[in-house]
Chain A
Amino acid sequence: MSEPTDINEDMRTRRRFLREGGALVSGVVVAGGLVGRKASAATDTAENLPPNVPEWMKTPGDPMGSQPYGTPSSFEKAVVKNIAKDLPQYLSASGRTPLQDLDGIITPNGLFYERHHAGVPTIDPAQHRLMLHGLVNKPLIFDMDDIRRFPSESHIYFLECSGNPNYKKPYGKTASDLVGLLSCAEWTGVSLKLVLQEAGLQAGAKWVVAEGADAAALTRSVPIEKCLDDAMLVYSQNGERLRPQQGYPLRLLLPGFEGNMSVKWLRRLRVAAEPTYSREETSKYTDLMPDGSAREFTFYMEAKSIITRPSGGQQLSAPGFHEISGIAWSGRGKVKRVDVSVDDGKTWQEARLQEPVLTRALTRFRLPWHWDGKPVVIQSRAIDETAYVQPTLAELLAVRGEDYYYHNNAIWPWHIAADGEVTNALA
């Protein structure tokens, strides 16, 4: 909860917004005042505007069955994954979620971020097997029907790549450039604990080594505590079977841990006394400190937030009312509070959190705001249920230096110019 003074501040803001906002209703808000891309050519054509009857009401639309698997409106063509055009190669590569174009907390499956180390395999589920062996009483092999026979559960969790982004310039222009290796979905599968108990853990079982069936045979070690807590074996995402890019037909899901550990195309779990020290947990996914030491097994994704509207690449159409909206998340649990500053960090006020606020899921926050048309810097910071506060980039760099690479959870402030253009204030 906020302190009383913050509530008063919030009430004052709200009263001001009601007073001034009312006058604007016929102006900015209705006249396509949504922050974002410029209106398309079609909406400029007066023929389809009042008092005329729009053309799409004078002829029947597409018949049933023209799209057996529905796709977005053709007017939303620009909303696609953000994939750099100049990557050295596209087999070990990543594509980002266009966070600034999305509302709510759920990422549509087609826009879920992707990171893979040797391309996306095409796996026939009938020929896929999960092997569970090592320090177990009974090593087992499961086919996909077996996995789906276990009691199932569904949970909404975010997933975030730990290199999201790194610490070096040039910094990204848009929310997607900066933290687009982040998505959130409702996952359905079986608790890993149930599957491990099916084989029976032996004394000394401290780690589970997970391996993917991709051409990288990507391998990560997971502490047994996580495996017996909220880890899942997942086969569905947002109601439908996993997409190939997300590990079809089966993936590990470790809520709140760096995305690389939620091994996709999961084919093997080896219960062990020690981590395997794979390349992905030694050469990569370790954090180099300025003194030459390196942190290993840095699993948690710490609390983070970003304003997605208005955000870099967008344009405020006019001064007046604008809702500030963004997302916050923490690998250590629930988001407790999000503070927003609209004066370059001099003062902060508490944003409203959209219910439900879920453990290790994205949380949408909002703040009503009146822009006076002057240049301004806006930013958000998340505070999670462990009372951890999202740091500034300067605070992170002071401790970790810019070669740390992973786990950058910095505040990203946006600069809004007098003409309404929004850009990265640190770039």
Chain B
Amino acid sequence: MPSRESRIAIFTAFTLVCLAPAQAQSPYGIGRVATPAEIAGWNIDIDREGDNLPPGSGSVSHGREIFDQQCAACHGARGEGGIGDRLVGGQGTLATPKPVKTVGSYWPYAPTLFDYIRRAMPQNAPESLSNDDVYAVSAYILSLNGLLPADATLDAKTLSSIKMPNRGMFVGDPRPDVKNPACMRGC
């Protein structure tokens, strides 16, 4: 057995190595380095500014064709909803007793539409659309919501520049926001 002191010393050294914020040496030497090509193939995240949107473009009219063929069965002919969520309308309803949350009325950021459709839709065949087709069908959904003209073409730049109507309406978490006085008697 090492002495108590030497064990503490070993432990301290180990802890320092582990907690150093940006050490070049990996503490356990587990795993292998990911190559840029591997990362590029897997990293499909697009943030709210549209960072990482791929090259390509698509028109509203082409988007309508894709939507009719691959989306309308679940989302309705004009995005009014079905098995899948309603995608269109609802602007101006959020502060009423019957709020309708859709891409047009509720979503704060337009690039999220590309991100979500590419990773998850159509539900029966996700990641099957080309980037051009994802731009096109995103353009169509935005145009159905009055956020893009019917003759528009969408690409990384135009998608990132769309300001969604509900963008300013999101706030942080203020909870605990509800108080129960925890009455014990005569309540």
Interface residues of A (CB under 8 A from B): 3, 6, 88-89, 91-92, 117-118, 131-133, 137-142, 146, 149-150, 194, 197-203, 209, 211, 215-219, 267-268, 270, 272, 274-279, 282-283, 286, 288, 290-300, 302, 339, 341, 345-349, 381, 383, 388-392, 395-396, 398-400, 403, 407
The chain B residue with its CB closest to the CB of A119 is: B123
B55 within 8 A of A: no
* Contact across chains for B115 and A278 when beta carbons are under 8 A apart: yes
A211 to B27 Cα, complex, angstroms: 25
Given the known A-B contacts A149-B28, A198-B30, A203-B22, are A390 and B184 also in contact in the complex, defined by CB atoms under 8 Å?
Answer: no
Contact at B26–A295, with CB atoms within 8 Å? no
User: Using Cβ atoms and an 8 Å threshold, which residues of chain B touch A282?
Assistant: 107-109, 112, 170
- Complex CA distance for A384 and B16, rounded to whole angstroms: 35
Residues in A neighbouring B184, C-beta threshold 8 A: 3, 6, 339, 347-349
Asked if A141 meets B31 with Cβ closer than 8 Å, knowing A278-B112, A283-B107, A296-B171, the reply is yes
Using A118-B126, A131-B38, A389-B179 as known contacts, say yes or no to A298 and B33 having CB atoms under 8 A apart: no
> Which residue of chain A lies nearest to B85 when distances are taken between CB atoms in the complex?
A283
In contact, A346 and B126 (Cβ under 8 angstroms): no
B16–chain A nearest beta-carbon distance, Å = 12
Q: Are B109 and A139 in contact (CB under 8 A)?
A: no
Asked whether, in the complex, the Cβ of A395 is within 8 Å of the Cβ of B180, the reply is yes
* Cα–Cα distance between A2 and B31 once the two chains are bound (Å): 51
Check if A137 sits within 8 Å of B22, measured CB to CB. yes
Answer whether residue B32 sits at the interface, using C-beta atoms and an 8 A cutoff. yes
**Interface secondary structure of B, over-half rule:** loop
Closest to A392 in B: B180
Partner of A297, one of B45, B46, B99, B172: B172
Q: Does A389 lie within 8 Å of B182, measured CB to CB?
A: yes
Contacts of A216 in B (CB 8 A): 119-120, 126
User: Within 8 Å CB of B103, what residues of A?
Assistant: 283
C-alpha spacing A217/B117, complex, angstroms = 11
A399 contact from B19, B30, B43, B177, Cβ within 8 A: B177
Cβ 8 A contact of A276, one of B18, B38, B45, B172: B45
B146 CB to nearest A CB, Å: 18
Whether A140 contacts B34 in the complex (CB less than 8 A), given A278-B115, A391-B179, A392-B180, comes out as: yes
Checking B28, B106, B127 against A194 with a beta-carbon cut-off of 8 angstroms, the contacting residue is B28
- Give the Cβ gap from A84 to chain B, nearest Cβ, in Å: 15
In contact, A288 and B28 (Cβ under 8 angstroms) = no
Interface pair A149/B30, CB less than 8 Å apart: yes
Q: Is the CB of A293 within 8 A of B182?
A: no
Interface residues of B in 113-129 (CB under 8 A from A): 115-116, 119-120, 123, 126-127
Knowing A140-B32, A209-B45, A392-B180 are in contact, say whether A219-B119 is a contact too (CB < 8 A).
yes
Residues of A within 8 A of B185 (CB): 346-348
**A339 contact set on B, CB distance < 8 A:** 182, 184
List, sorted by A's number, 28 A–B pairs whose CB atoms are closer than 8 Å: A3-B184, A140-B33, A140-B34, A142-B30, A203-B21, A215-B123, A217-B44, A218-B120, A267-B42, A270-B43, A278-B45, A278-B115, A288-B99, A292-B99, A293-B170, A294-B94, A295-B170, A295-B171, A299-B173, A347-B185, A347-B187, A348-B184, A348-B187, A349-B184, A381-B182, A389-B181, A390-B180, A395-B178
Report yes or no: A279 in contact with B115, Cβ–Cβ below 8 A.
Answer: yes
> How far in angstroms is the closest Cβ of chain A from B55?
20
**Is the pair A198, B99 in contact by a Cβ cutoff of 8 Å?**
no
A399–B177 CA distance with the chains assembled, in angstroms = 8
**Residues of A contacting B108 in the complex (Cβ-Cβ under 8 angstroms):** 277, 282
Please indicate the chain B residues that have their CB under 8 angstroms from the CB of A407 in the complex: 175
CA distance A295 to B177 in the complex (A): 12
- Contact: A133 with B39, CB < 8 Å? yes
| Nearest CB of chain B from residue A52's CB, rounded to whole Å | 52
Is residue B186 within 8 Å, beta carbon to beta carbon, of the partner chain? yes
In the complex with contacts A211-B45, A286-B170, A400-B126 CB distance below 8 A: no
CB distance B173 to A295 under 8 Å? yes
Cβ B174 vs Cβ A278 within 8 A? no
B169 contacts the other chain (Cβ, under 8 Å)? yes
CA distance A217 to B183 in the complex (A): 46
* B38: chain A residues within 8 A (beta carbon): 131, 141
Interface residues of B in 100-155 (CB under 8 A from A): 101, 103, 106-109, 112, 115-116, 119-120, 123, 126-127
Q: Nearest chain-A residue to B117 (Cβ)? A: A279
CB neighbours (8 Å) of A89 from chain B are: 83
B39, A139: Cβ atoms under 8 Å?
Answer: yes
Contact A293–B120 (Cβ < 8 Å): no
Shortest C-beta distance, A76 to chain B (Å), equals: 34
- Given A292-B95, A302-B176, A389-B182, also A198-B31 (CB < 8 A): yes
State whether the Cβ of B23 lies closer than 8 Å to any Cβ in chain A: yes
A211→B34 CA distance, assembly (Å): 16
Q: Is B7 an interface residue (CB 8 A)?
A: no
Task: Give me 19 other A-B pairs in contact (C-beta within 8 A), A346-B185, A395-B179 excluded.
Answer: A89-B83, A91-B123, A117-B120, A118-B120, A131-B34, A137-B24, A194-B27, A200-B22, A201-B21, A217-B126, A274-B47, A279-B116, A279-B120, A288-B106, A295-B172, A347-B184, A381-B182, A388-B176, A407-B175
Known contacts A219-B45, A279-B116; A92/B123 CB under 8 A: yes
Chain B: CB-nearest residue to A409: B178
Question: Considering only CB atoms, which chain A residue lies closest to B41 in the complex?
Answer: A131
Contact B169 A292 (CB under 8 A): yes
